[in-house]
Structures are given as C-alpha cells and as structure tokens.
Structure 1
Amino acid sequence: MAIVVQRFIRLAFRKFKTEEEDGEPSTYQLLLGVINWVIIILALLLCFYAIPSARSLLDTELRYLLTIVAVIILTIFFQRLVRYGLGRYLQKSAQNLKVDPTAFNFLKNAINAIILLISFFFIFYSIPALRAVGTTLLASAGIVAAVAAFASQHALANIVSGVFIVIFKPFRVDDMIKIGVDITGKVEDITLRHTVIRNFENRRVIIPNSTVNAETIINSNLIEEKICVHLEIGISYDSDIDRAMAIMRSVSERHPMCIDNRDAAAIAENRPIAIVRVLALADSSVILRAWAWAQNADDAFVMKCDLLKQVKEEFDRQGIEIPFPHLTLVYKKDV
C-alpha cells in the first residue's frame, strides 16, 4: 500500500520535477522527499499495529515516537532547505560580489549544525526519562556558548559583518572605494572575516569587516562609474578672472578623457561641457573651480593630474599669476 501511495505522489509531482542550474534538486523535490519519509514511517507504524504484542508498546510510547519522528523529519527538511536554498543565495551573492563562493560554505555548515543541536535538545527534552539529561546538556551548552562568544566576540563581529556585506552588497570586487578618511583603493577580495583593498601603491590593505561596516564608504562604481573631477586653482587678485576661467574651461574640454555629461536641455542651451565658477575669495587669491566629467575613477585620477599641469603651463603663457606664500622684508634707514 505504501509503495502504491508513493508511486501516486511521484506521478502527481512529476510535472513539478525540475533541476536547478547547478544540478541541485528543486523545492518540489525536497518536499517530495519529506513526504516519502512520512509515508515510510506511517507504513512501519501500521505494521507494528498489526502485531498484537507490539500494539500495547505503541499505545504507551506512540506519542514520544511520533515526536521524535516529527523532529527528525523537520530537521532533514530544514537542513536541506538551508543547504540548497541558502546555498544558492550565497552562491549568487558571491557571483555578484565576484568572490569565491566557497568562502561562505562554513556559514551553511554552521547553520546546519545549529539546527541539528536544537533537534537533539528538543528530542531529549520531549522524553521524560531523558529530560533531566537534556536540561543538563542545554545548560552546559549555554555556558560553553557564552564563554566561546565572549572569547571570540571580535571574530564573530567580523563574520556577522561579512554576512551583511554579502546581503546588502555595498561594494564588489574591482570596485574603487574609499573607507574612512585615508583608505582608498580597489577591492581585491571579500571574505567573511576581512576585506582586501589594493591601494595606489600596489599594497594590500586588510580591513576587518566590522571596521568596514562601522566606517563611511564612498563607492565610485555603485550604480554608475562616471566621476566628476573638481579642479580648484587660486589666481591673484590682479589677474584677469575671465581669461583664467576660459583657460580652465578650454584645457578641460580638450582633454581626451573628458566626456560630455550634459543632458538634452543643457545641450539645447549650449552650456559648456566643463563648468568653471568662482568658488571663493580667499585672503590672497581668487579660488576658481572647474567641473569636468571622466568615464571612471581611473580616468578621473589621470585627467586631474594632467589638467593641473596643463592649466599651470597655460597660465604661465597667458600671464595669469598663481599666488604663493612669500615674505617681504622692509628696511628702514633709521634702524
């Protein structure tokens, strides 16, 4: 009878039977496996009821037996769900972050171990004869867990922060980011414990994930990669401001890495590609700022370095003075 029921259920679920891209069973197949186990266990119980000598034993211990069976079935189901469901999610997240998905395998194993421990404790606690043992084990495990958590709180904080990075994806491998005030570079690797950044000196900066989550992050590649370069230069009060602004605009627009980021309205109004404004009137100079766009962070850095050099050279040719601190000594004849 059990075989007939199993065959009927398999036929009913056949149209839902699919394989995932990585060859793992689908959710319907997991559910079908759990139903098969339930049918097998019910068949065994019916067989025991058919034996008179075993019937009395089942009547007295059936509740405990069914509890154990239910816990085992739920444990298998949740472990498979974590293995395949969470596994696929972590794998896709790792692919989006461009990191090795095996770096997050231990997270799945840890969750499965927790599910297994909870199942054991529930089984021990549901049987009166084993309840005292289960309570003792639970108390001991709680003490051990508290001591372990206190001893490794920094490591656990890094792991939890790594999970948050996987879930919320504030950056990916190869993104140009700035963390805090003085750490800037390209993300080279992301693990559950730390993030590796390659700075402009080709050195690897290893930052704990808890520190990464606590700092402000500037991501140059999030959503779009275009960068607006700010070029600030001070000129003397005696210099021609309009000529200096025209030089900065012309030099910026001629650079090969400068892109046209104007919208349709700006193009229709014939606005310049590079905008130049008077930013401030300082103590000894007039501060001018040019806004020019580059395709990405790498081009923006190179373009800014080139523009500083080219604007300085053009200012020298056009007689635009860039003030610098100097000291004037006045000698009096009476002294």
Structure 2
Amino acid sequence: MYVDEFKALFQSQHTITALSLLSALVLLFVAKRLILVRLTEKARSQESGMGSFYRVLVLALDAPLSIIIFIFILWMGRNVLEWFALANDTVLTVISHIVKASLIIALFVFVERLFTYSIIRYQSRSTLVKNSSSIASGAIRALLACLALLIILGTMGISVTPIIASLGITSLAVALALQPTLENFFSGIQLVMDKPIRIGDFIELDSGEQGFVEKIGWRSTWIRMLPNNIVIMPNSKLSNSKLINYYYPERELSVPVEVGVHYDSDLEKVEAICLEVAEYILKHHHYGVDTYEPFVLFHTFDNSSINLTVMLRTKEYFNRFFIKSAFMKMLKKRFDEEGIVIPFPITALNLDQEGAAAIIQKAKREEPAA
C-alpha cells in the first residue's frame, strides 16, 4: 500500500514540477560555480591588468548570480502556479513584482560590488584612491541604493515624481538635522582632496598625541597611537586643527643629538670623533641614511660643559629613537677611549675670587665714618 502511494506521489504533476525546479536550482548553481572558476583561472593566467579585472569580476558576480538564480526559480514557480491555477491573480502579481525588484537589486548589487572591489583592488596603486576608498565606497553605495529604490517603485506603478519633488522640501530639514554629519563628510572630502594627511602617515595632533593614520572615513579619521590604541577623530575637528605630518613631503628626518663636554676638552678632537661616529652609524645602521653628511655645531657655554649638537638623519620619524640610541652608546665608548669627559651638571666656585670679594666687603664695613 505504501509503495503504491509513493509511486502515485512520484508520478504526480506537482512532485515532478517540484523536482524539476530543484534540479534546475542545483544545475544553475553548478553552472555559476563553473563560470566563477573559469574566470578565476583566467585571472591567474594573466598577470597584466586583465588579470586584475577578472579577479574583480569574480568577486562582483558572486552575489548577483545567486540572486539571479533564485529569481529564475521564483519566475518558473510563478509560471507553474499559473499553469495549474494554484494561485489567484493577487499572488501572481506580487510574485511578478518580487521578480522585477529582485532583478533590479541584482543589477545594482553587481554595479556596487564592481565599483567597491575595483577601489579596493587599485588603492595600492594610487594614493588618491587609497585615501578616498572609504568615502567613495559609502557615497557610491548610498547613490546606487537610492536609484534602485526609485526604479523599483517605478516598476511597481508608483509615481516617483512626488517623491522627487518632496526631496527639495525635506532636504533643508534633513541638512539641518544632519549638520554635524554633513560637516564631517565634507571635511573628509577636503582631507582627501587637499591631502594634508594620507593613509599610513605618521602625524602629531595639536593635543600632542602621535600616531599613524589608519583610515579616513566619511565621518571620522582613525589614528593608531604608538601604544597600539586607536584615536577616532571627527573629520571636521581634524581639518580645523593644527597638526604635524612627519611623512610629508618625505619620510626622511633629521635627528639632532645634544652632547656636552668638559671645558678642558679639545673641541677640534671632539668634533672629529663625533663626525666619525655619526658617519659610521649612518652607513651601518639599518635606519640610517648613508648618503647624508652629518655635521656638528657648538652653541652654548653652559655652567659645567660646552654644549654641541650632532645632526643625524633617519629614514622616518619613528626610527629616530633607535639611531639616536646607537649613536649615544658608541659615542660614549669613544669618549671613554679618548679621555674626553662628559661632565656632571655642577656649579664651580672660584675661591680666590670669592675670598677677595669678602675682604673688600669687610673693609667697607670696618671703615670709620667721616
């Protein structure tokens, strides 16, 4: 009895139709997989710009193809319901609208992903694309979403003319309500266009905080501090503040090192040793600029020492700590070998001068009044 019922169920039109739709679904997904695999192989075989294009195309087609497959199955299911009169006109109309809306969504998802992945793919080749990737992606996504919504409403028979006309009335209220957000957005665009900072630059804020620029978003800029924490700065505040960009116009940076030697030191010898050590450090240290010519400047007769500045050069701001440390260690060792003294901060008293001044003062006190 159960066998006969199973045969009857298997031979029914509904079952055959459902199995056919399921088989079509599986075959379409297999075809989608084959298409993406073929495009991936093309991307791997071509190292030129076409290879990059195929990689972007694979990423952009993944989700839209899945949507199109479900659209096709839904459309076939609607036709089946219509053929067997299993649904009324209202249900069929709703399914038709869903199919049209899904097709529009699939198209706009493809365009959005094509733009987004192209930006991500090419941001390493262009500073402008790298800095504006976050803002550009958000703007494109918002614009395409608005266009897709208007087109979907139009295909459903809803007039979009009143909606577009009402945008002019409501835009003022929206602009006032979103004034801080819009200010940050346009400040972000200004940062991208003027390029006072770029992704990866090491900057110092007017508050004294230092860090690397991680991301310039549509609302805020993310700055990674040296302790590895993130400071999130609103774009409007950042664009109106004073900052130092240690990577602009170039990353190389001079490193001044202050040195003090004893008054009895031979200054010509001190200068020669400092230059010798500085040249060695710049040529052999990983962060040194070997083409730079260091120099020495004597500038202060201090209380206990003659002070001078040795000017070095490093590849970027963050490396100045390491090259300065290496120079100081080697210079101290050379000074010890050459007998050059780096004095402690002391105050010297001239006893002869002080004694003479005391005798004069005592004589003035003991002088008889006229």
Q: Shorter-chain-normalised TM-score: which range?
A: 0.5 to 0.7
Alpha-carbon offset, residue 302 of structure 1: 0.6
Are the structure 2 counterparts of residues 176 and 322 from structure 1 closer, same or farther at C-alpha, using a change threshold of 3 Å?
Answer: farther
Q: Which amino acid aligns with 1:281?
A: T
**1:327–1:113 distance in 2 versus 1, CA, 3 Å:** farther
Q: What displacement does 1:148 show?
A: 1.0
CA distance in 2, matches of 1:167, 1:89: 20
Deviations 1:74-111 (A, max 9, x none): xxxxx9xx979997996588444557946642222445
Task: Evaluate the alpha carbon distance shift between residue 85 and residue 204 of structure 1 in structure 2; reply closer, same or farther with a 3 A threshold.
Answer: closer
Q: 2:276 aligns with which of 250, 262, 276?
A: 250
Q: Match of 1:281?
A: 300
Aligned pair 1:233/2:233, yes or no? Answer: no
Say whether 1:324 aligns with 2:345. yes
> Greater shift after overlay, 165-174 or 302-311?
165-174
What's the offset of the Cα at 1:206?
Answer: 2.5
SS at match of 2:218: coil
Q: Which residue of 2 aligns with 1:107?
A: 139
Q: Which residue of 2 aligns with 1:207?
A: 233
> Structure 2 matches for 1:116-131, cutoff 5 A?
none
Residues 1:171 and 1:236: Cα distance change in structure 2 (over 3 Å): same
Q: Does structure 1 residue 301 correspond to structure 2 residue 314? A: no
CA RMSD of superposed structures (Å): 4.8
**Contact kept? 1:245, 1:288, Cα under 8 Å:** no
- Give the AA of the match of 1:311: L
Which of the pair has more CA radius of gyration?
2
Gaps of 5+ in 1: 1-17, 25-78, 119-129, 263-272
Aligned to 1:261: 291
The structure, 1 or 2, with the larger RCO (C-alpha pairs under 8 Å, 6+ apart) is 1
Q: Paired residue for 2:176?
A: 147
- Identical aligned residues as a percent: 25
* Kept in 2: contact 1:239–1:321 (CA 8 A): no
Instruction: Measure, in 2, the Cα distance between the counterparts of 1:87 and 1:168.
Output: 23
Gaps of 5+ in 2: 1-49, 59-107, 151-159, 363-370
What is the match of residue 219 of structure 1? 245
What are the Cα deviations for residues 272-292 of structure 1, in whole angstroms up to 9, with x where unaligned? x321122x2254343311122
2:214 maps to amino acid: E
User: Is 1:188 the equivalent of 2:214?
Assistant: yes
- In structure 2, distance between residues paired with 1:181 and 1:302: 25
Maintained 8 Å contact 1:244/1:320: no
Bigger mean CA deviation after superposition, 215-224 or 199-208 = 215-224
| 1:310 corresponds to which of 330, 337, 344 | 330
Rounded Cα–Cα distance in structure 2 between residues aligned with 1:178 and 1:93 = 28
Q: Give the SS at the match of 2:269.
A: helix
Residue 178 (structure 1) shift:
2.6
Please identify which structure carries the higher helix content: 2
| Aligned match of 1:175 | 201
Deviation for aligned residue 1:294: 2.4
What displacement does 1:184 show?
1.9
Work out whether 1:291 is the aligned partner of 2:311: yes
Q: Distance in 1 between matches of 2:113 and 2:224?
A: 34
Read off the aligned partner of 1:260 and give its amino acid letter: D
Structure 1 residues 180 and 252, CA gap change in structure 2 (3 angstroms):
same
TM-score computed with the length of structure 1 as normaliser: 0.54
Cα distance change, pair 187–147 in 1 and its aligned pair in 2 (3 A) = closer
Distance 2:217 2:335 in 1: 49
1:146 Cα deviation after fit = 4.1
**Tell me, what secondary structure is at the counterpart of 1:231?**
strand
Could you say if the C-alpha distance between residues 224 and 92 of structure 1 is closer, same or farther in structure 2, counting changes exceeding 3 Å?
farther
Cα 1:320–1:291 change in 2 (3 A) is same
